[in-house]
C-alpha cells in the first residue's frame, strides 16, 4: 500500500467493508484477497473489466455500476449470465440438485450429477458440483475436459442459504455484462 501511495499519491478506495459471501467455490479464487485488491482501485472509475472471471470475487467486492466480465469456460459464463437474467432459475438449479443428493445415497447421486455434466457440460450441473465437490476444487482432465473431482465430505449449503447468496450477488453484479470468450472472440454473451 505504501508503494502505491509513493507512485500515485493518496489512495481513494473503491470498496467498502470486506465482502466474504462466495457464490461459487472455484480453484484460485481471490475471495480472501478481493477486498485488498479493491483498495488499489481509484474511488471513481468507468467500466470494470474482468477477463478471467472465475468466482467473480473482485467483481462482487467492487460491485461496479458498469462491468464487462468474461471467461473462456462457457458453462461458467452460463452460470453468471443466468444470475443476471434469471436469479430464480439459478436458485432452482441448485435446489433441484441439492434435493437429488439428499434423496438417496449422497455419493451415488453426486456421481449422477457429475455424469450429466460430463455428458454435456452445462452451467446447472457445474453450479452444484462447485459447491458439493471435494474441497471445493473442481478438476478437469486437460485432454477431454472430463470433470473428475469426487464428492466432498461436507454437506453443501441449503437451498435457502444459497438463495440468499444469489440475491446478494444479483445486486452486486447488476451492472455487469458477461461473455464467453476465446482469444478475443466472443463465443456467447
DSSP state of 151: B
d(CA 112, CA 95): 16
Per residue in 79-99, pLDDT (tens digit) is 999 999 999 999 999 999 999
What is the chain's pLDDT, residue by residue, as a tens digit (189 residues)? 455 554 555 554 554 556 778 899 887 778 788 888 888 888 888 999 999 998 999 999 999 999 999 999 999 999 999 999 999 999 999 999 999 999 999 999 999 999 999 999 999 999 999 999 998 888 999 999 999 999 999 999 999 999 999 999 999 999 999 999 876 566 555
CA distance 71 to 78: 10
pLDDT of residue 56: 93
Choosing among 3.40.50.720, 1.10.10.10, 3.40.50.1580, 1.10.1020.10, the CATH entry for 2-188 is 1.10.1020.10
User: How many residues are recorded in the chain?
Assistant: 189
Task: Quote the strand ranges of the chain, DSSP E.
Answer: 48-50, 67-71, 176-182, 185-188
The residues spanned by each domain of the chain are 2-188
Cα–Cα distance, 16 to 14 (Å, whole number): 7
Cα–Cα distance, 24 to 56 (Å, whole number): 8
How confident is the model at residue 44, as a pLDDT? 85
CA-to-CA distance for 33 and 39, rounded, in angstroms?
10
Number of Cβ atoms within 10 Å of the Cβ of 187 = 12
Estimate to the nearest angstrom the gap between the alpha carbon of 158 and the chain centroid.
Answer: 17
Amino acid at each position: 500500500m505504501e508503494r502505491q501511495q509513493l507512485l500515485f499519491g493518496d489512495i481513494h478506495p473503491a470498496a467498502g467493508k470486506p465482502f466474504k459471501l462466495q457464490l461459487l467455490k472455484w480453484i484460485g479464487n481471490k475471495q480472501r484477497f478481493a477486498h485488498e485488491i479493491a483498495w488499489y482501485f481509484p474511488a471513481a472509475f468507468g467500466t470494470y473489466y474482468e477477463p478471467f472471471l472465475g468466482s467473480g470475487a473482485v467483481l462482487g467486492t467492487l460491485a461496479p455500476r458498469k462491468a464487462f466480465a468474461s471467461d473462456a469456460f462457457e458453462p461458467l459464463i452460463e452460470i453468471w449470465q443466468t444470475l443476471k437474467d434469471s436469479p430464480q432459475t439459478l436458485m432452482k438449479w441448485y435446489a433441484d440438485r441439492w434435493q437429488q443428493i439428499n434423496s438417496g445415497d449422497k455419493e451415488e447421486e453426486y456421481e449422477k450429477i457429475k455424469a450429466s455434466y460430463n455428458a454435456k457440460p452445462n452451467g446447472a450441473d457445474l453450479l452444484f458440483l462447485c459447491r458439493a465437490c471435494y474441497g471445493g476444487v473442481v478438476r478437469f482432465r486437460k485432454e477431454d475436459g472430463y470433470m473428475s473431482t469426487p464428492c466432498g465430505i461436507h454437506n453443501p449449503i441449503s437451498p435457502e442459504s444459497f438463495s440468499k447468496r444469489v440475491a446478494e450477488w444479483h445486486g452486486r453484479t447488476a451492472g455487469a455484462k458477461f461473455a464467453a470468450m476465446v482469444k478475443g472472440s466472443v463465443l456467447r454473451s
